[in-house]
Each structure stands twice: as C-alpha cells, then as structure tokens.
Structure 1
C-alpha cells in the first residue's frame, strides 16, 4: 500500500506555516498602510463629508474648540461634532444650501456624519488629549493655526522625535489654561514658562520620556 507523500502531522505543519505566511503578509500590508496614513504629507487638506471651514468658524466667528470637540478636556479622544451640534446653528442658517446636504441626510437617516481624521497616529502610539490640555499644551502646538485653515490639514508630521523633543523640554510649549484654546496661544516668557512647568510638576521629564508613556 502506497504511503502518502506527507504524513498527517507534516501536512498540518505545512498548512500552519502557509497560514502564518498569509496572515503575516496581511499584517505587514496593514501596518504599511497605517504608517502611510500616519506620515501623509503635511499641509494637504483632508476632504470631509461637509467642507467645514475652521477659518470661518474659529477665525472669523470665534467658535471655541470645545463647542465641537466636547470631550477634549475629559478623555483621550477629543470627540467629533454630532449632527445635532451642527444643527444648533444650521437648522436656521443656510439650512437648505446644497453644501449642507450631507447634514440633512444625516439627520433624516439618524446616522452620524462620517468625519475623516486629519491627525492620525498608529495603533501602537497612545495619546491622551485631556492630559495635554490639563498641563497647558495649547491646541495650536500640535494642530497649528486651524483658524487660518479653510479645510483642516496636518500641521506637523507627529513623528516620535518631534513628540520627544517636547517631552524632554515641555516648558516652551506650555500656556496658562485660559490660552490653551486660543488662536494663537500667547507664548509665556521663559522664566514664567519654567515656573508653570514646575507648578504642573513637569520639571522632571523622566516619566515623560519613559517608553511606556506612549507605547502601552
């Protein structure tokens, strides 16, 4: 009686190896796509379901960041504007304009607007908006002058070295709490910035530069 070319265990081993290669290739592709998104070109406006102008809403009208990003002081994620947030004004203002068709559809179908993220970090990087806000890091430090952006774009590459430079010497990037959401945020004199860092217990940067702070 002829013996099979591979015994059952050998066949199972080959199948597992092939499966691992297949899954590994898929994971590598996903990682490359994620990294490409993370390091997309700075200064390129991101298309949105509604062409929301930060320049108009923040720069011209003076809308506070927290009106739309409601959880920025409480959680890691700043929050994105819900349909009802937009309708606070646009149920009356320009309500029937074509530019707001996606907003009307969102309300009619009871589905949230699919806003696209502009500032993307890979899954292996942890970032908490609330702690940065609490420590006096102004929005403009990372997001740039959004009050001058007709459509939002990435202002910084958000690379590891850029983040570490701030974590090693946070004082120059700190602001009084009443300036955190200002555009632009008024810089402090160096001596005042050092005093603010001390009052916020940021004079020691050992914990800030520990790997586990951002990679959890």
Structure 2
C-alpha cells in the first residue's frame, strides 16, 4: 500500500499541537495577569471630576476632617458626597473668582447639584455599609489610601474579593480607635494586633461570620 502522508507529517502534527497548547497556556496567563492588573481594578487611576478637587490641599494642608464633606459616613451605608452648599460655605468668601470653581458657582446659581463621579465603586451584587465599617474601627485610609497626599483623587485599593476577604479573615490588625478613624498615616506604639483584638471585643464584632457569603452578597 502506498504511503499517504510523508514521513514528516507526524513531526508537523506534533509541532502544531505543541504550538496550540503553548498558545492556549500563554493566553490563559495573559488573561490572569490582566485580570489582576490595575488596568482592570482601576487602582491608582485618577477619575475626572466636574471640579479638580484636591484632597491634598483640603484634607492635607488645611486638615479638614473627612466627615465635613462626607457627613453620613458614620450613620449611613453611603459616605455621602458634599452638596454645593458645603463647598460654598468657604468659597463664597475665598477664591470667589477662581476659574476652576466656576462649575460650583453655576451649580449654586442654577440650583443644580454637581455630578461627582464615583472613585471607590463596588459592583451592584456587593453589599457594603460605610457606617458598619467605620464604627467597627476601620479607618478611611484603609480602603481609600492616604487621600491627604492626592492632588487628584484616585482609587487607593483594588477592591477585589480577595482583598476584602483578607481583612474579614483577620480584621484585628486593621482596626483603630474611633477617634483615629479619619486620621491619615495613623500609627501607634502599641501592638496593632493587640489593639485590634481589644476593639473587636469592645465593639462586639462577631468574627465567626465575617467570611460567610451572605455577609457581602445578599
């Protein structure tokens, strides 16, 4: 019987399968790396706003407490965004003619709120409450980074499920006294874990169910 395929056919088939397998593995690696990259999580990416608000200036240089603008962070699921009146409580007297503040003055004159763009945004299927975390001793910078060093606001953390679980599995070292919640760069000479464990007891935090699916997905 005559030979249908040349002797080299087996070699080419093996080479083609090897290339195909290598390509699939390479594609999988690329997808995994991309999924964990800042490009997907938006960590470190500046979000454009209607007004170039500087946390570095307001929270850093002027030492304005986070709660002055985010006034519902201790009592509500959402931290709250400042209404125009909050901005104008200062800027009706200082920097009154600044060009960059024109949208704020227009907002007040037209009685239309500024449309701030969310920086720290979670998917709709994630249940999150600011007041629960803040009152448990989770500082603002734990999730948002040291905003007092940000000329323009960007996402300080990736907000991935694994990042949240790291804290829920071992919250003690990440907790701080309530009076230090808004303090940027807070530190203590005491052992952080010991301080956190005391706060877990003081705030009656039930750590047994923090990693239950229902805690974050309802």
TM surpasses 0.5: yes
Q: Which residue of structure 1 lines up, in the alignment, with residue 87 of structure 2?
A: 86
Quote the RMSD (CA, aligned, Å): 1.8
Match of 1:210 in 2: 212
Q: Does 1:49 align with 2:44?
A: no
Consecutive unaligned residues in structure 2, runs of 5 or more: 1-38
- Structure 1 segment 29-108 matched on structure 2, within 5 A: 39-108=40-109
What's the CA shift for 1:54?
A: 0.1
Q: Deviations over 1:104-159 (max 9, x none)?
A: 11011100000000011000001100000100000000000000000110011000
1:197 positional shift: 1.6
Corresponding residue number in structure 2 for 1:195 = 198
Cα deviation, 1:158-186, whole Å, max 9, x if unaligned, reads 00011011011100110001100101222
Q: How many residues align?
A: 180
Q: Does 1:169 align with 2:170?
A: yes
* 2:137–2:177 CA contact under 8 A, matched in 1: yes
- Residue aligning to 2:137: 136
Quick check: which has more Rg, 1 or 2?
2
Question: Which whole-Å deviations, capped at 9, do the CAs of 1:74-124 have from their partners, x for residues lacking one?
Answer: 100000010000000000111111010100110111000000000110000
TM-score by length of 2: 0.79
CA–CA distance in 2 between the matches of 1:47 and 1:192?
Answer: 38
Moved over 6 A (4+): none
Contact preservation (8 Å) 2:144, 2:155: yes
Aligned partner of 1:4 in structure 2 is: none
Deviation (angstroms), 1:39: 4.1
